[in-house]
Amino acid sequence: MSFGDPNNPYGPPQGQQPGYPPHPPQDQPGYGYPGAPQGQPGYGYPAAPPMAQPFGYGAPMEMPGLIKTARVLLFILAGFQFIAGLFLGIAAGAAQDVSNGIGSGDDTSVATGALIAFALLMLALGTLSIFLGVKFKNGGSGIRITTIVYASLMLLGSLVNIVNGGGGSSTFGGIVSLAIAGVILASMVNGAASAWFNRPRY
């Protein structure tokens, strides 16, 4: 059986069986449809770039570190104020009991009243410190202004204690409260505090 003359220009190419269409090369597109190059998007709409997740929009803002420090100091200050208020109240009551026992209760009642009033003031300041510290999370500019005024008054009181303390416990307490008030005030007057307390809330 003969497949024809191999030199016939109309016959099938060498190495192929007659009656079958020639196979296109593997790296060429097939007949009828243009092949898309590998790694390229197909015809139609161009491929959109991957969507980046927006950062910041709708995401909760984190409290700045200095604001967190001021908040912790307010809680610590409140603890000292509560302890001082309770101590002064107990001391005032005990002193009045002793004065009543020796018959001079009327002479010491004014001093006892002053101590009790100071103890109540310390308890009120401790409550204010706790309130401000809690409101740092969701409070607005009013909390910031109140904290600035509070820290400023505490600075003045600390300076008075240092000057009039005579090197005793009042001087030491004034130095401690001066340092705490200074850090709180510094944390409230910078740009990070303004951005935090004026941030949008969703």
| Residue 80 belongs to a domain | yes
Confidence of residue 169 (pLDDT cuts 50, 70, 90): confident
- Given this model, what pLDDT does residue 10 score? 62
Tell me which of 37-41, 102-106, 183-187 is least confident: 37-41
| Residue 13 belongs to a domain | no
Confidence of residue 16 (pLDDT cuts 50, 70, 90): low
Tell me which of 41-50, 113-122, 127-136, 165-174 is least confident: 41-50
The predicted model gives 78-95 an average pLDDT of: 90
Average pLDDT, the chain: 77
| Residue 82 belongs to a domain | yes
The predicted model gives 51-69 an average pLDDT of: 68
User: Between 99 and 92, whose confidence is greater?
Assistant: 92
| Residue 104 belongs to a domain | yes
For residue 5, pLDDT beyond 80:
no
- Given this model, what pLDDT does residue 51 score? 46
- Given this model, what pLDDT does residue 115 score? 87
- Given this model, what pLDDT does residue 54 score? 43
Q: Distance between CA 63 and CA 182 in Å, rounded?
A: 20
| Residue 113 belongs to a domain | yes
Q: Is the dihedral of CA 97, 102, 105, 108 positive or negative?
A: negative
| Residue 27 belongs to a domain | no
Confidence of residue 122 (pLDDT cuts 50, 70, 90): very high
Instruction: Give the range of the structural domain holding residue 89, as residue numbers without chain letter.
Output: 65-197
- Given this model, what pLDDT does residue 113 score? 83
pTM over 0.75: no
For residue 94, pLDDT beyond 60:
yes
| Residue 171 belongs to a domain | yes
| Residue 45 belongs to a domain | no
- Given this model, what pLDDT does residue 129 score? 95
* List of residues 6+ apart from 67 with CB closer than 8 A: 136, 187, 192, 193, 196
The predicted model gives 44-73 an average pLDDT of: 68
For residue 152, pLDDT beyond 50:
yes
Look at the chain and report how many structural domains it folds into. Answer: 1
136-168 burial string, b = 16+ CB within 10 Å, else e? beebeeebbebbbebbeebbebbeebbeeeeee
- Given this model, what pLDDT does residue 25 score? 54
